[in-house]
Amino acid sequence: MDESTPLFAIAVAAELAGMHPQTLRQYDRLGLVSPTRTAGQSRRYSMRDVVQLREIARLGAEGLNLEGIRRILDLENENRALRARVRELETALADELLAKPGRRVFAAGSEGEVVTLRAGTRAQKANQLVVWRPLRRS
């Protein structure tokens, strides 16, 4: 189980958040907190939902209206998702670098293309002579 596992019925979540169950229903309707539903359509709140309810109460006590609170929560949730995605990408990059050491070394080929080299190797040089003559303007 983790913080997003839906465990608490509405009465228990309301008690943990220090709110009335009707307030939780209103917040659900407004989209401030979205608990999961059982097969019988009763709400089940996770610990993350309870923490979010407490945050709503704190922000409301500071004078923010519900629309302002909703926008803050949306941004915080987006931030959390983006941080998780960054962690995923960092892990994937680290795994890729460990699986293929030396793949980040590169050189320019004779035609201007990018040539990937193994670490510790050198690009082969062409021994061709190129003559350049500027065009004469008449």
Q: Answer whether residue 108 is part of any domain.
A: no
In order of 12, 50, 54, 69, the CA distances from 9 in angstroms are 5, 11, 16, 24
Q: Answer whether residue 113 is part of any domain.
A: no
Which pLDDT belongs to residue 123?
63
The count of structural domains within the chain is 1
CATH number of the domain residue 38 falls in: 1.10.1660.10
> What pTM did the predictor assign?
0.62
pLDDT tens profile 113-127: 777 766 666 666 666
Distance from C-alpha of 94 to C-alpha of 102, rounded to nearest angstrom: 13
Taking residues 129-133, what's their average pLDDT? 62
With beta carbons less than 8 A apart as the criterion, state whether 21 and 10 touch: yes
pLDDT tens profile 49-98: 999 999 999 999 999 999 999 999 999 989 999 999 999 999 988 887 77
Which pLDDT belongs to residue 57?
95
Domain with 35, as residue range(s), is: 10-99
Q: Answer whether residue 14 is part of any domain.
A: yes
